[in-house]
Amino acid sequence: MRPQKTNCPPTRCDNWLVSEAAANVSRQACTLSARHINDGTLRLQFNREVSYYTQGIVKDVSQGNKTVEQGLKELKDEQGSLLSQAREVTLRGASVISGTLQFAAGAGICYASLGTLCFVAGIPMMLNGANNTYESGRNLLENRSDAVGPLRKGYRALSGVLGSGNCEADIAYGVVDLSSSAYGIGKLVLKPDAWRLFRHVRSDYVRAYHHASRGGFFFDRFIDGMTAKTMYDMCNHQSE
């Protein structure tokens, strides 16, 4: 698609298209780096590298070393790569937050139940939360996606003893993760205005999701979806 408001020759219009696409990629890089790179020096270096790369494509097209279509495709691919990396960083950050909240929820169950529900729900939630935080934190810091925490290694080791593989272990790990999430959102909690001198009755309690904020509820469901997708991806990858 060519600019409508210019009367430039076709070659100049094509070069303008490539230059404009390059500028869009550079602007996208500046936006993403400002959001995700805290160190000023690294942010400047990142923006400079992207700018050098995009301007190199513009130069190659203007000198005839690449066609306009090739240049636009490479710039589009670069922009897609930047957005994909930013999305991965955001998801890993969300997983770190989710793991921390999961650990806190497990500790809260142990405290509120005076230890009676600790082994049933509290400790499993705390262990999974700590492990999820560890895995997501390593993935985020080391720019990877395959970190395996101590708890998952334990699941895999036990699965091997039982004659199964990593896929079965990861499914079991994910099921515990999802079950603890379902328990947390479905457990009974006191109504804000509930008050009794001696003991509370069933009508004084409501399910936890009634008091969850809309954002918090959908954040939990989003993390549950990520957990399910991770289970599928791991098993699907291992079966290939």
Q: For residue range 217-233, what is the model confidence (pLDDT) as tens digits? A: 566 666 777 777 777 77
Distance CA 225, CA 94 (A): 12
Per-residue model confidence (pLDDT) at position 151: 92
Distance CA 165, CA 150 (A): 17
From 126, 220, 111, 135, select the one nearest 176 (Cα to Cα): 126
From 148, 127, 126, select the one nearest 137 (Cα to Cα): 148
| Residue partners of 186: CB distance under 8 A and separation at least 6 | 207, 208, 209
Per-residue model confidence (pLDDT) at position 88: 76
Q: For residue range 163-186, what is the model confidence (pLDDT) as tens digits? A: 888 888 888 888 888 877 777 665
Write out the two tokens for 232.
Answer: 């599928």
Does pTM surpass 0.85?
A: no
Q: For residue range 101-142, what is the model confidence (pLDDT) as tens digits? A: 888 887 877 877 677 778 877 888 888 889 989 988 888 888
- DSSP states along 30-71: HHHHHHH---HHHHHHHHHHHHHHHHHHHHHHHTTSS-HHHH
- Can you tell me the mean pLDDT for 60-64? 87
**Is 50 exceeded by the pLDDT of residue 5?**
no
Per-residue model confidence (pLDDT) at position 117: 73
